Structure 1
């Protein structure tokens, strides 16, 4: 299902996990790619939003987890550039395996055979790097290399699994699915201080907010 969030952004609901499509001043941008079996639905969603798959220019990846990178291989053959945080990019590209030294590393290795790395090069991003109108913010905690993407020009923040929507408000990534919950809380507070104003808050799970996104993130940071 595709829902328009703003003039330039669409929510792609993939059955428990979200992807997003953004027309970033003419550069059509997909954020995250769902499960391995979601690849076809992603391309159908691009068409439903009024574009063709070949219109895709780039893919922004918030983090390495099965439900966010599983559909990337379905995009092979399209002329896109893929980006991920510098610490998760080698995992997304298949050059490295998740470490056993973090709590969720063993699970990521267990489901690793379900993930086919994309043939497309994955460009690593550091904190503060710009991709189009988006700025990448390193927000470790859910995974060591998790990043959020904020576009002040478009008024949207793609928050990945740093937070999730629950009962109409934002909650932090829970301990059972996080690499480090202390880092999660620290990243939420840091992003709440550093990010510019935005209306749309787009989490990886749950219902995105079309208005008041920055205030909701600030409220969450104040509750931690």
Structure 2
């Protein structure tokens, strides 16, 4: 369930969806501080996530911040079940109200309609929610707006830790990186533009983590470039 990808970087496999744990002081060669959790799985993954964090050698109270790549039941559902988590949750501005439970997804988009149907199964977290926008810095990570899969989808990249966490902008299948498909996205044209723009702006990074599939431990930036060229 817990796999070390690099010094201070852990992949938490929740069987079908991924979360990540980064000890910024270790991954950033002492320059960063605190432990960062990225995404939180489905509503019933809270206990598994807590166990995985413990298996990596940490406790919930060690987590300084939670980075959410986007609003979807399989990325925010587990937040409410993390008893003892006392950390702010950072999420793309356009998705923040959905995560907080203050707004419902739109019914006029096929992906939004699915999110709307699933919203009743997601309990909003009680932690403070901090909206982020393109170019913001959270800990050692820079925020990159990557809309398409959802309007508020963001990627988090740390040059110092050499990690790129791309959420559901991309997915891995049989060792190959693919863009988020039409069925699971608000707008595939935006997905393609986001991939191209991220490729043009992001610094080099070795570890590439995505929401679904097996993360890459090396050559992450090169794999993103290959996908953008396609």
Aligned position for 1:200: 207
- Of 150, 153, 157, which residue of structure 2 is paired with 1:150? 157
Aligned position for 2:76: 69
- Of 210, 216, 221, which residue of structure 2 is paired with 1:214? 221
CA distance in 2, matches of 1:3, 1:76: 23
Following superposition of structure 1 onto structure 2, how do residues 171-190 of structure 1 map, counting pairs within 5 Å? 171-190=178-197
Matched, 1:30 2:51: no
Aligned residues: 223
Runs of 4+ in 1 over 3 A off after TM superposition: none
Aligned position for 2:102: 95
Aligned position for 1:20: 20
Q: Which moved more, 1:96-105 or 1:108-117?
A: 96-105
CA distance in 2, matches of 1:81, 1:185: 30
Offset of residue 139 of structure 1: 0.2
- In structure 1, runs of 5+ residues without a counterpart are none
Offset of residue 75 of structure 1: 2.4
1:52-86 C-alpha deviation (Å, 9 max, x unpaired): 12111110000000000000101254221110000
1:23-73 C-alpha deviation (Å, 9 max, x unpaired): 112311100000000001111011000111211111000000000000010
CA distance in 1, matches of 2:199, 2:49: 30
Aligned position for 2:166: 159
Aligned position for 1:121: 128
Matched, 1:55 2:57: no
Offset of residue 94 of structure 1: 0.6
* SS of equivalent residue, structure 2 residue 215: coil
CA distance in 1, matches of 2:151, 2:83: 26
- In structure 2, runs of 5+ residues without a counterpart are 26-32
Is the Cα–Cα contact under 8 Å of residues 87 and 128 in structure 2 kept in the other structure?
Answer: no
